[in-house]
Chain A
Amino acid sequence: GQNIDQPTEMTATEGAIVQINCTYQTSGFNGLFWYQQHAGEAPTFLSYNVLDGLEEKGRFSSFLSRSKGYSYLLLKELQMKDSASYLCAVADSNYQLIWGAGTKLIIKP
């Protein structure tokens, strides 16, 4: 079956760096997405990786290794507003998006 694994919850300190991992097993691969979802709100797009390597966008970076079925989202200079759930999703061979359950990130002062 198809599977996306990410930690259920993580805690980090304001101003620090946190890495949220995502591993996947899918039938085919057409890209990996990260979305941010604040409690009670809709998910919003953060990043898309289809080739191996690191994509940097301000304080957020996303890394992909297709051979390892692995990605991470790196958040630097954490702010209280970064407290949210982070969703990992993979587009399979049919371009269907398979979603992880999300990682709830708690930021402490």
Chain B
Amino acid sequence: AQSVTQLDSHVSVSEGTPVLLRCNYSSSYSPSLFWYVQHPNKGLQLLLKYTSAATLVKGINGFEAEFKKSETSFHLTKPSAHMSDAAEYFCVVSKPAGRRALTFGSGTRLQVQP
């Protein structure tokens, strides 16, 4: 069985300050991990993915995430928030290749204050 927990349902930051969105997972396998972003009235866009290569993964729009097996975490960070980063962010865990199943977190809504 696998599960994913996004520790904060809402995060509010000021423009120009760092962003930290937290995600913990559990999996019986060596998982693949993803972060997706959903802007208002839009579909989900892939930000980045981890598939057992480098533990620090760089994504689009300046986001990155670090896979920490000992902590079962895959937190999403960005050094400096931009107003356009305001959106809903989903952490997703997947079974290894050849097995179907994506488990989505419940989402974290990021607000960016001017």
Q: Do A and B bind each other?
A: no
Hey, which bits of chain B sit against chain A, CB under 8 A?
none
Residues of A bordering B, CB below 8 Å: none
